[in-house]
Amino acid sequence: MSAAGETAAGRRPAIRAMTDRDVEAVVAVWAASGVARPWNDPARDIAFARRDPHSTVLVAEADGQVVATAMVGEDGHRGWVYYVAVDPDRQGEGFGHDVMAAAEAWLAARGVWKVQLLIREDNVGVRRFYESLGYRDMRTVCMQKVIG
């Protein structure tokens, strides 16, 4: 997959499924952008997302660097997007839009028509970003239980 067009800094990034050589760069983008959390082992999350064809981690690469990521998957009914992150030094160049468009295209290619994501309630800037892409608060409660 690749996006076409221009960013403020030049060409659109190449967007593709991550490879083993990208793990360190992906984890670095997650840490720098603030999406990583101490209770989530990024290597474990990456390995889990890449274990079968129902999910993947997409990377946007510009100037030979991983500049944005999105973990995307489908559960047989809905699509989910996690770990959308843009290198803080490259924010504002459209890479977040690019990687989200690629995640939506990945899901649409699999016949998924509904996309969901989770946002921390106090993250107003990120909420506005997703609203600008057409996402809406569905006024549902997400519950969780750690089982392993």
113-147 per-position pLDDT tens digit:
999 999 988 889 999 999 999 999 999 998 989 89
Q: Is pLDDT of 7 > 70?
A: no
- CA–chain centroid gap for 142, Å, is 19
Distance CA 81, CA 71 (A): 6
Could you read off the pLDDT of 63-106 as tens digits, one per residue?
Answer: 999 999 999 999 989 999 999 999 999 999 999 999 999 999 99
Could you read off the pLDDT of 39-68 as tens digits, one per residue?
Answer: 889 999 999 999 999 999 999 999 999 999
Assigned token pair, 114? 């509904």
Average pLDDT (14-37) is 96
Distance CA 23, CA 114 (A): 28
Q: For residue 31, what pLDDT is reported?
A: 96
Q: If one looks up domain 6-132 in CATH, what number appears?
A: 3.40.630.30
Q: For residue 3, what pLDDT is reported?
A: 42
Q: For residue 55, what pLDDT is reported?
A: 97
Q: For residue 5, what pLDDT is reported?
A: 47
